[in-house]
């Protein structure tokens, strides 16, 4: 277990802690005379988890420690963190439920699309739109957590959330277009390959039939000559008295 994979797994373990802190509004901490509410603690947990997302990928590429388990767990951890934060914000009545359904549904749709693409033998890499969407997701969720006890942030939090919806739909359409283009190219290549195989089989059959046709023609010519010889012999016989 290398460090990048450890960070990815740690991000998964942050998810239940984040949910528990965010939905328990009675959690209040006192530190050096300052009152720290549950939304601040949840925000810190979310930022630490989001930082592990940046750090694990960077370290894995830099140290050459990209593994199969890390490749599989990293997107799962990201989606768990974002989905858990958004659903918890619905629980505390900060985000409308339909928006969260739209965003979480998009994540599942894109994940399913990537799984189908992987089965078909090709990979759909994260686009710049997807990375931009992730940045706005972190920003929007942070502002939404801050707005729980600070009403003046609500306007900016809602605005950033609608930006997230825009980039989510835009990037999802982009991913589906990439998928269908790859499927279309593969289908055309498969059809072309089938036509080439059919043409080869047709030529092979013609080559096989050509010697057989020559042999049949030679046999027919021999039979014709034999019949012609028999008729000429009968014509040369003397007539009986």
**pLDDT in the model for residue 160:** 93
**pLDDT in the model for residue 240:** 46
Each of the 241 residues of the chain gets a pLDDT tens digit; together they read: 788 888 889 999 999 999 999 888 777 776 776 767 888 889 999 999 999 888 888 788 888 887 777 777 888 888 899 999 999 999 988 999 999 999 999 888 888 887 777 777 776 666 778 778 889 999 999 999 999 888 899 999 999 999 999 999 998 888 888 877 776 666 666 677 777 787 777 777 776 666 655 666 666 666 666 666 655 554 454 554 3
- Of the candidates 167, 147, 14, the residue with the CA atom closest to the CA atom of residue 84: 14
Is pTM beyond 0.85? Reply is: no
**pLDDT in the model for residue 209:** 65
């Amino acid at each position: 277990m290398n460090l990048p994979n450890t960070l990815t797994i740690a991000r998964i373990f942050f998810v239940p802690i984040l949910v528990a802190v965010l939905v328990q509004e009675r959690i209040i901490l006192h530190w050096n005379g300052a009152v720290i509410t549950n939304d601040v603690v949840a925000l810190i947990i979310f930022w630490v988890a989001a930082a592990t997302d940046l750090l694990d990928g960077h370290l894995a590429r830099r140290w050459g420690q990209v593994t199969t388990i890390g490749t599989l767990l990293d997107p799962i951890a990201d989606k768990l963190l974002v989905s858990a934060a958004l659903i918890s914000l619905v629980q505390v009545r900060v985000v409308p439920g339909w928006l969260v359904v739209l965003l979480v549904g998009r994540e599942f749709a894109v994940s399913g699309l990537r799984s189908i693409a992987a089965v078909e033998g090709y990979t759909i890499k994260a686009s710049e739109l997807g990375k931009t969407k992730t940045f706005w997701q972190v920003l929007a969720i942070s502002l939404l957590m801050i707005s729980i006890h600070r009403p003046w942030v609500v306007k900016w939090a809602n605005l950033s959330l609608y930006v997230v919806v825009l980039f989510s739909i835009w990037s999802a359409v982009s991913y589906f277009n990439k998928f269908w283009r790859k499927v279309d190219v593969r289908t055309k290549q498969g059809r072309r390959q089938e036509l080439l195989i059919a043409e080869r089989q047709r030529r092979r059959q013609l080559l096989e039939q050509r010697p057989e046709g020559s042999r049949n023609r030679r046999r027919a010519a021999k039979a014709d000559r034999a019949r012609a010889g028999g008729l000429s012999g009968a014509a040369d016989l003397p007539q009986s008295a």
